Structures are given as C-alpha cells and as structure tokens.
Amino acid sequence: MTRFAPVIPRFAMPLALLCALFGAPPLARAGEPNLALAAAARSGDAAAALKALEAGADVDRAGLSGDTPLLLAARTGHGQVAQVLLANGAKLELRNADGDTPILVAARACAGGVSRILLEAKASAAEADASGASPLMLAADRCGDAALKPLLAASPALDARDEQGRTALWRAIDRNNLASALALLTAGADPKLAPEGRPDPLWHAAEKGSADLVALLAEHGAPTDKPDGSGATPLMLAARRGDSAVLARLIKAGAEIDRQDTLGLTALMLAAGSGRGPAVTTLLAAHANKNLRDKRKETAQDIAKAAGFEDVATALK
C-alpha cells in the first residue's frame, strides 16, 4: 500500500514557519523592531530595548491599548528601560486608551523609581487622569512611603482635590493606607479637609474602623469631636459599633466623653442601647456620666433596659 505524506495547507502553517520558508513580508519585517521594543519594555531588558531602537524601532509606537514603550516601562516599574527610552526622545505627554500619561501609570503602579526618573525628565506632577486624580492621589491609594516620596517633593499642592472633592489624604484614609497617610501628614497635608457633604478625615477613619489612622490624625491636629450632620462624634460612632480599639484611641486623644448629639444621646447611651458591654465598661472607666439623660429623659441604663440588654443595664447601676 502506497503511503502519502500529509499535505498541510499553506494557510494552516504557523506564521513563523511561513516566514522561514518564504521570507517575512515587508510589513512584518518593518514591525519586528517595534515588537522587540515593546517586549523589552515589558520585561525590563534595557539592552534589548537599545538594540531594538538601533534597529529602527519607533520609540513612541503605541500598541492596541495605546501603551507606548515608555508607558509599558512605567506600568512594569522598569526604570532602566525608561531611561533608555527617554534618552532616545520618548514623549512624556502621550496618553494611552485610558487617558493616562507615563507619570500617572507609574504612580498607580507604585513604581517610585520610575516616577522619580520621569519627574527628573520634566514630567508634570500636576497631570490628572480621567477622574481628576493626580499622580500623588493615585499613589496615596495603595502605595507606601517609597513610592510617594518623589511625588511629595514634586507635587504643587498636597491638598489638591479630585473630581469628587477628595484629597490625597482622604483617599489614603479611604483605603486604610496608614503608610501613605503618615507620609502625607508628615509632608504637611491638612488633616481637616473633606469632600463636600462628608465628615472630616478623622470621622472617616473611625467609620473605616482604623484605630491607627484615628490616632495618627489626632496626633497631627485633626479635631476629635467634630460631629457629622446628626451631631454624632467619632466617639459616639465607635461606641455604637462597639469598636473598642477606636474608642480607646479617641479617649486617649482627649475626645469629649459626655458630649450629646441632637437627640441628647451620649456615647455611653449609644453603647448601652446597642448592647456593647465592653464599650460601656471602657467609657465608665473613662468617667463617662451614667446619670445624664437624653431628650426623652432616659439614662443609659433606661435605654439598655428598653433594648433588652439586662447585663449592660446591670453594669450601669
């Protein structure tokens, strides 16, 4: 029986095999240095990037996502590649499909080394993404001190706001980013600024349940007793939630123990009405007045009894 070798249709051959057999078409050959440059930017191979540029790669050629080689290097944190690209004329102002420039991409990626290189090359720290966030704000969301340091030194306004009215410090608090908040406060960020209609940063930190952020903000001058629209202070919020760690930090920072909200409720009453026994104990140890009455003429003990928390009511006798 005669055996025949299988015939593989030319269209089914891999592109690499076609190129080997028949030679790459002119367009593919022309694009090879650009592809090599993009690959080098992603991998951090500075020597390969330089070789691709010497072979004729376009230093600002963007891929399908709109990312130029410099944007790719910024995203992946490859500082040496970024230096090679900048030395060969890469543009700092080009944006990708998301509207981000290299400095915005580097900040979001916590690539502090690349941010420093870009800033030294005269990238603007006042750039903003589609939401109005500056490089400093983007780094404040998730990065540590090392990534923030070059941006703090270059940012024209520590307390600039995004389109939602949030400062870099507010964004750091919103993400429970203690390291970022510390760097911003140490650099002089205002601990009192909040978006319109929102409570101040310390209240927000208490709302997020971050005792360390509450303590840090208090140490840097944030008011401990500034209320929200209902007259509730951070201490009242922590008492109602039974958040002993936040409660202890606020008491230590000098929060007013017996302040009353618009209904006449104190932190002790709120803790009692929520059945928060440990919080009640903490407040009593801090000399909270258990005899105060709210606007319904009820004491903390009355409130605990009405809510069915007999053990808490007993502790308030």
Q: What is the CATH number of domain 65-191?
A: 1.25.40.20
Domain limits, CATH 1.25.40.20, in the chain: 65-191, 199-317
Check residue 31 and give its pLDDT: 61
Q: Quote the longest CA-to-CA distance of the chain.
A: 107
3-class DSSP assignment, residue 94: coil
pLDDT tens digits for 98-134?
A: 999 999 999 999 999 999 999 999 999 999 999 999 9
Q: Using an 8 Å Cβ cutoff, are 96 and 71 in contact?
A: yes
The residue with tokens 């992603």 is 42
Residue 10 has pLDDT above 50, yes or no: no
How far is it, in rounded angstroms, from Cα 207 to Cα 226? 13
Which structure tokens are listed for 32?
Answer: 């090879």
Q: 217-257: per-residue pLDDT in tens? A: 999 999 999 998 888 999 999 999 999 999 999 999 999 99
Give me the percent of the chain exceeding a pLDDT of 70.
90
Residue 224 token pair: 């401990």
**pLDDT classification of 25: cutoffs 50, 70, 90:** very low
Q: How far apart are CA 279 and CA 243, in angstroms?
A: 7
CA distance readout (Å), 90 to 32, 104, 111, 297: 19, 16, 18, 72
Q: Note the pLDDT of residue 229.
A: 83
293-301 mean pLDDT: 97
pLDDT at position 22 is: 41
Once rounded to an integer, what is the mean pLDDT over residues 80-96? 97
pLDDT at 184: 97
> Hey, what are 165's tokens?
């009215």
Mean pLDDT calculated for residue range 44-61: 97
pLDDT at 303 over 50: yes
Q: First CA to last CA across the chain, in angstroms?
A: 105
199-317 CATH fold: 1.25.40
The runs of H, that is alpha helices, within 23-68 are: 26-43, 46-54
pLDDT value for 65: 86
Instruction: Report CA-CA distances (Å) from 36 to 22, 186, 226.
Output: 22, 43, 58
Query: How many percent of the chain have pLDDT more than 90?
Result: 86
What are the pLDDT digits (tens) for 255-283?
999 999 999 999 999 999 999 999 999 99
Q: Are 39 and 59 in contact (CB under 8 A)?
A: no
Residue 171: partners with Cβ closer than 8 Å, 6 or more residues away: 133, 137, 140, 141, 162
pLDDT at 15 > cutoff 50: no
8 pLDDT exceeds 60? no
